[in-house]
Amino acid sequence: MPLYEYRCEQCEKQFEANQSVYARVEDTECPFCRARQATRLMSSFSSNIVGDRKPGFSELKAKAMTEERMQRFAKLPPLNPRPIMPPPNGISESDPLSTEGSTS
């Protein structure tokens, strides 16, 4: 379960909570004052990604590889192919039962 950081609006204390991804902020109870007025803080992990630093060469290359992979994936045929059509006419002629009846 991911670890979330919260700040209580009631007592202005920060606390961490192990919650499921589906947990709502409104249901998060402050361990100090039991108020449910917490606001979820951005984790340090996500704040590290955001920055005004220009991406390096390796990051650009990784981005290009990802885009190339996405394009290759888009060229793939759809998961549900068209149903196989029965061969056009000629089925009854090659049917052994029908030919047997006509010859005798």
Interface with Zn ion (CB under 5 A): 8, 10-11, 30, 32-33, 35
Residue 30 Cβ vs Zn ion, minimum distance, rounded to whole Å: 3
Contact at 8 Å (CB) between 37 and 6?
Answer: no
Between 10 and 66, name the residue whose CB sits nearer to Zn ion.
10
Cβ 1 to Zn ion shortest distance, Å? 21
- Give whichever of 12 and 59 is closer to Zn ion, judged by the CB atom: 12
Tell the burial category of 87 from Cβ atoms under 10 Å away from its Cβ (0-12, 13-18, 19+).
exposed
Q: Provide the minimum distance between the beta carbon of 40 and Zn ion in the complex, in angstroms, as a whole number.
A: 14
Which one, 4 or 30, has the nearer CB to Zn ion? 30
Biggest alpha carbon distance in the chain? 99
CB atoms within 10 A of CB 41: 14
